[in-house]
Amino acid sequence: MSAMGDPTTDFVAMLDLEPHGPDVWVGTGPRYPWGGLYGGQIVAQALRAAAATVEPQFRVHSLHAYFIRRGDHTEPVRYEVDRVRNGRSFVTRTVTARQATGAILSVSVSFQVDEEAPEVQIAELPDAPRPSELHQDSWSSMFERASVPVEELAGRSRGWMRINGDLGDDPVLNACALAYMSDDYPTDAVVALRPDRPGPDSPPDQHPFMAFSLDHAIWFHRPIRATEWHLTAMICHGLISSRGLTVGHVFTEDGVHVATVSQEVLLRRNRNV
């Protein structure tokens, strides 16, 4: 990573949005290897903006986002927050992310005051090598990643991830870090279901597909420390009209189910390859 404080290399700096009037914030980020903006960045910054309008006793429990246009890395992103509802137990916010071309993302975020109630977990951590036993293959300085080989399982992708940066105990920053990383593995699960998918040794510039995130949802079940390793296990049950819907669970190394992620991905043949 480069010097701390640069929003193109430092996750915490990237989440330090600049206020631009009532309930409006502006953020920037890096240029990603494929060009444009990374959907996880826009979702994470939108969540940060929404949380800035909510009292700290409310914890984010879900978000539902639609990607509208491709983002431009050469422009800042403007996040406009609408305070839809303020309740005693739940708070709802809608955030619209805009650039010069118009809206690029719309997301609804719900927050809840934690309640005393029974906790039950049925989801189980799948068998997987630990991160130290795997090859590190992150494409970003923002996080570390170690993918789990699952070629024998159709429509699956699995991998360990953890954010780089000092998040401390800030629940908002840690939730934003999960949102940032959660946009990574869903596409791999959709690609894994294609019968004409590329082999593991195919060069990146010869990848036969173009992938676009259409919508994205996260349910935050338990607090997370995003600087620790978490396993994301995704599955895509089918493809139709070039779209694949993925659903996955996020676990700590001890098997605690901290979040559920769902995304629909548009996957088309790359005509330039």
Top CATH class, 11-114+127-269: mainly beta
Mean pLDDT estimate for the chain: 91
Stretch 88-104: mean pLDDT: 97
Q: Is the pLDDT of residue 204 over 60?
A: no
Query: What is the rounded CA–CA span in Å between residue 14 and residue 21?
Result: 19
| Per-residue buried b or exposed e for 111-145, using 16+ beta carbons within 10 Å of the residue's own CB | bbeeeeeeeeeeeeeeebeebeebeeebebbbbbb
Res. 200 pLDDT band, cuts 50 70 90:
low
Q: Read off the tokens for 267.
A: 């996957």
Query: What is the rounded CA–CA span in Å between residue 212 and residue 100?
Result: 20
Query: What is the rounded CA–CA span in Å between residue 51 and residue 57?
Result: 11
In terms of pLDDT, which residue wins out, 29 or 196? 29
Res. 31 pLDDT band, cuts 50 70 90:
confident
